[in-house]
Amino acid sequence: MILQVHESSSLPRCEQVLRHGGLLGLPTETVYGLAADADKPDAVAAIFAAKGRPADHPLIVHVADMDGGLSGARYFTREIPEFAMRLMQAFWPGPLTLILPRRDGVAAAAAGGQDSVGLRCPSHPAAQALLRALRHSVQGSVVWGLAAPSANRFGRVSPTTAQHVHSEFNTGRGTDDPAALLILDGGPCEVGIESTIVDCTRGEPVLLRPGAIGVHALTEACGQTVRLPHELVSGQSAPRASGTLAAHYAPEAKVRLMDATDLQRALQPGSAQRRAVAGRIGVYMRTRPDIASEQAAQPQDGLNGPPQLFLRAMPPDAARAAQHLFATLRAMDDAGAKEIWVESTPGSTEWAGVADRLQRASVA
């Protein structure tokens, strides 16, 4: 069942489900999460089971924006380095996850058995309203944080609307089915890709996953150079972190990345690439496709394309491209695309998050 945030009974019902160890489709500014009490091992195990996710692949824990998320962070961690505090002050609430040393006895299942934990303070108002409500004691019980990986089957395209979550977990279930996942509809996600992840467990900040917050902004905020994994001393290993597997975020269709020239060449009628695809091709590109000679076209989002092609224009700026990326991949799957051809992103740092998701989606 999908609940609307403006309905007065929605947040209390969601709170009750989570306090009793249930799962919830939770809106955040990045993507929708599949949420449960991070301190309830059975509830966290239900997340792994629902997603088909390996139990040693850690989940991000979301905390309330009460004192900027500091009290939640202190509950889950043994220590918070000064540079991590500066990152929290600069970017929380927001799309930034910090990997910190985990305090013994808390969120062990969510951490995938590691002695570190990923923490985030989301900025979505509905998520924050629910997280703050859960921090109030009910019969002596306080929920300090919600484990909430993306609300999709493991490795698939992340959801950015409540309907995406419904299609992942509730297809074929009636509105009164007690087994249906409860989903809080907070509207389309503003950011559209998962959070930036910075490892803070090794005495210096290390970027594990790019996102909406770029490495230069991180470095400026924390007062230390934010390193990339390949810059670490040999032998240093990063903690496992959510969404960092080589193959991830993949639609059903095969994704191919091409530069603009190669993509224009592949789109030409009679090209070997087009002949090799037995079915529809999704095309996502910033430059206008050069297919004017094919006149049997129908409009697709302002572009003209022949019936074999499902054309979508990629926004020219990185933030808007990120916001629409996963929804576009899902739409192309829904349109029956056998392959999705995507124009490679610019090499500038603001495109790093989009480039990362497309690279992982295209790994065979």
CA distances from 352 to 100, 208, 348 (A): 23, 12, 7
- Alpha-carbon distance 257 to 243, whole Å? 20
* pLDDT classification of 235: cutoffs 50, 70, 90: low
CB 206 within 8 A of CB 238: yes
* pLDDT classification of 183: cutoffs 50, 70, 90: very high
pLDDT tens for residues 265-313?
A: 999 888 899 989 988 999 999 988 876 545 444 444 444 455 688 899 9
- The answer, yes or no, to whether residue 175 has pLDDT greater than 60, is no
CB 192 within 8 A of CB 329: no
Smallest CA-to-CA distance from 248 within 152, 161, 105 is with 152
Residue 220 CA, chain-centre distance (Å), reads 24
Q: What is the pTM of this model?
A: 0.89
pLDDT of residue 53: 83
Looking at the chain, the whole-number percentage of residues with pLDDT higher than 90 is 68
CB 110 within 8 A of CB 147: yes
- The answer, yes or no, to whether residue 79 has pLDDT greater than 60, is yes
* pLDDT classification of 242: cutoffs 50, 70, 90: low
Instruction: Quote the DSSP letter at residue 313.
Output: E
pLDDT tens for residues 36-47?
A: 999 999 999 999
Smallest CA-to-CA distance from 61 within 71, 76, 47 is with 76
E strands, the chain, are 2-4, 24-26, 33-37, 60-62, 96-101, 116-120, 146-147, 182-185, 196-199, 206-209, 254-258, 280-285, 298-300, 303-305, 309-313, 337-343
Q: Please, what is the average pLDDT of the chain?
A: 88
Q: Cis peptide before 93, with omega less than 30 degrees from 0?
A: yes
